[in-house]
Amino acid sequence: MFFKNRRILVIGGTGTVGRSIVKHILQEEPEVIRVFSRDEHKQFELQNELNRDARISLLIGDIRNYDRVSEAMEGMDYVFHTAAMKHVSFCEKNPLEAVLTNIIGTYNVIKAAKQHNVQKVVFTSTDKAISPTNNYGATKLSAEKLISSAEYAKGRGGTVFCAVRFGNVLGSRGSVIPLFVKQVREGKAITVTDLSVTRFMMTLDQATQLTIQSLQMSKGGETFILKMPVIKLKDLAELVAEETPKKYRMAPSGVDIVEIGLKPGEKRYEELMTYDESLSAYELPGLYIVPSPFAPKQTYKHASRPKPGTYSSEGAIPLTKEEVRKIIMEQNLI
């Protein structure tokens, strides 16, 4: 087992993906898992959920504060950096706050990891970092560059850094499904920004597995990208409208779906890679690997070269509505 008797720090460990990573690693008998976040209530909830497991150490802190990040990093073998400002609209309205958390915070993580000679660090990014039209994507792109360039600037240190690029994680705090369900249960119309929107979709388990697998595989500076199916927002809204009344035994009255327009900075589609990245990328059955331009050339077992392209959700064939329904019901997202 990869994490047996190891010491792990999960930054943002009370978020949706962070919690899932913590629960997964606990099964591999680690020596300790430090959960670092600034939300004391969610730490309290996690502590109770895990029955006050003695291997869990809960640390209140903010990645903007280097000294606190450095304290949390001391003695750690592996670090998962999942903390971020994630909501597009809030990052648009509060751009400096997003910079402080997503860019300066990531720099603090890198600096502390090198200071304490951590073995490996994995950073969670987003497909919105590709051709960004919003501040959230721009800050995540800058953070990705920090991770990639850490290979160039780390000197004699042995810390290995890598990033994972997520699509939309179904059922997470940033997902629209909980919002849609809440609107239906309150007897309101489902509000959709634009029915033509398409997105790359992944389940929470896929996000967790990709992050852990990437940490294990990383050789230095890579960005790992899961091959994800595309869904149409229209299908998602219609499915929630159909399934929520059944689940909560509500009157089977029609649920209205109302378009409200794209939010500032929001895109109709997303991309997984830039064209230039695809020229240097490797392809495995379930993911793509974009190597750092600053790291020594690496090879990956059974990897091939992908077809050049940006891999846009706009040009991809989306899942059928019934395929999306199956995923939603299997994952118990309503």
- pLDDT tens-digit map of 97-140: 999 999 999 999 999 999 999 999 999 999 999 999 999 999 99
| Three-point CA angle 46, 47, 51, nearest 5° | 115
Tell which residue, 102, 50, 27, 221, has the closest CA to residue 35: 50
Catalytic residue from among 128, 232, 234, 267: 128
Q: CB–CB of 76/159 below 8 Å?
A: no
Helix or strand or coil: residue 37? strand
Q: What is the pLDDT of residue 326?
A: 92
Write out 64-133 in H/E/C secondary structure.
CCHHHHHHHHCCCCEEEECCCCCCHHHHHHCHHHHHHHHHHHHHHHHHHHHHCCCCEEEEEEEHHHCCCC
Give domain 7-167+202-227+272-309's CATH number out of 3.40.50.720, 3.40.1410.10, 3.30.70.260, 1.10.10.10. Answer: 3.40.50.720
pLDDT digits (tens, 9 = 90+) for 256-302: 899 999 888 889 999 999 999 999 999 998 899 999 888 778 788 88
Please report the pLDDT score of residue 281 as a whole number.
94
Q: How many CB atoms lie within 10 A of CB 86?
A: 23
DSSP β-ladder status, 230-232 and 198-202: antiparallel
Note the pLDDT of residue 111: 96
CA-CA distance, 267 to 251, in Å (whole number)? 35
Is 128 an active-site residue?
Answer: yes
All residue ranges of the chain with pLDDT < 50 are: none
Cα dist. 219→109, 140, 269, 291 in Å?
18, 21, 31, 9
Question: What per-residue confidence (pLDDT) applies to 233?
Answer: 93
Under DSSP, is residue 72 helix (H, G, I), strand (E, B) or coil?
A: helix
d(CA 316, CA 207): 21
pLDDT score for 250? 81
- Whole-model pTM: value is 0.92
Q: Cα-flanking dihedrals φ and ψ of residue 16, to 5°? A: -60, -50
Centre a 10 Å sphere on the Cβ of residue 109 and count the other Cβ atoms it contains: 30
Q: Is 19:46 a contact under the CB 8 Å cutoff? A: yes
Chain-centre distance for alpha carbon 80: 11
> What pLDDT does residue 302 have?
87
pLDDT at 333: 87
Provide the pLDDT for residue 66.
Answer: 98
